[in-house]
Amino acid sequence: MSESTSPSPLAPVLLVYDGTAVAGLAIARAGRELANDREALVLCVWQPADVGFEPVSKRHFDADAANEVRQAAQETADFGASLAREAGFRARGLIVEEAPTWKGVIHVAQEHQVGLIVVGAHRYAGLVGHLLGGVASAVVSHATCPVLVVHDE
């Protein structure tokens, strides 16, 4: 590579954020492991009624009202983006309405041509634990890029 040719910029990182502590832990871990000042998209996947995330705002909203769920999802994504900026990323919050959640993650990853997906996974004991790692497992199974799975401590 000649001196006048610069390497292509790194593809953005997709940080899946659902408002849970393990999702916040995943963002912090990604910040420690990846290059500083890397672009990141912080994604909150939502759906009416079932919601699909833990709102960061304590304000009440009607889970059956799509516009209210969308607003709470955006607040959650924006809060996740603030965590990502604290971890050293150039981050912005992004939301998508999709069910199941893993499909939303995969669609956004493909649409934005991300280089890595970061997702938190809860540890559950026994057979229930084996069955409940749904989102992280499905993302790993369907992603076309590398996936970093961060487990709760």
The rounded distance, in Å, linking the Cα atoms of 4 and 97 is 43
User: What pLDDT does residue 32 have?
Assistant: 94
Amino acid 16 reads V
Q: Model-level pTM?
A: 0.85
Domains, the chain, ranges and CATH? 13-151 (3.40.50.620)
pLDDT per residue rounded down to tens, the chain (153 residues): 334 333 345 899 999 999 999 999 999 999 999 867 899 999 999 987 776 777 787 776 666 677 888 899 999 999 999 999 999 999 999 999 999 999 999 999 999 999 999 999 876 655 544 544 688 889 999 999 999 999 876
d(CA 49, CA 139): 23
CB 92 within 8 A of CB 12: no
Beta bridge partners of 149: 119
Cβ atoms 41, 94 nearer than 8 A:
yes
For the chain, how long is the longest CA-to-CA vector? 58
- Quick: pLDDT tens for 100-122: 999 999 999 999 999 999 999 87
